Amino acid sequence: MIVIEVRNCGRTPAEITDVFVDLGFDALPRAGSYVLPPSHEQTRHFLVTEGVFEHRVGFQGLNSDVLSAVKGGTKKLWVYGYVDYRDSLRRRHRGGYMRRFDPGIILLPGNNLVIDSTPGFNYDRLRAPDEGFDWNEE
């Protein structure tokens, strides 16, 4: 299971309209080319300023052999995705992120994920009309 902490660092409340998380092993997809699986369930959450919520995701491909290879450094692992949200003025945003597992670094207890600087994955921008599931909502 992977736990993503979503934090509102802005000055006004925000409504999270979706969270997408995926894993990359040894290679990454092209930035922004994420394909939502058919089983994807939309996530909704309201966050006040400095509010936090945890989004938990289980991955069936993350078995003990894969985890051992990642921890041993013979396989690379990235966690990437985005958070769709609406700000207090109802503007739609997408915040993208990518973290790389580094078995030699412990940032916090249980956290070996470091920010990866690969272009196109870490951003916060306005969403295009074809991005997200909430365009038909007021």
Dihedral sign, Cα of residue 20, residue 26, residue 29, residue 32: positive
Residue 109 has what pLDDT? Answer: 67
**4-51 confidence digits (pLDDT tens):** 889 999 899 999 999 998 888 888 888 878 777 777 788 899 999 999
Q: How far apart, in whole angstroms, are the C-alpha atoms of residue 108 and residue 35? A: 31
pTM: 0.86
Query: String of b and e for 119-135 (b: at least 16 CB within 10 Å)?
Result: eebbeeeebeeebbebe
- Residue 133 dihedral angles phi and psi, to the nearest 5°: -105, 5
Query: What does DSSP assign to residue 88?
Result: T
Considering only the C-alpha atoms of the chain, give the largest distance between any 2 of them, rounded to a whole number of Å. Answer: 49
List domains and CATH numbers for the chain. 2-126 (2.60.40)
User: pLDDT higher for 32 or 100?
Assistant: 100
Average pLDDT score, the chain? 86
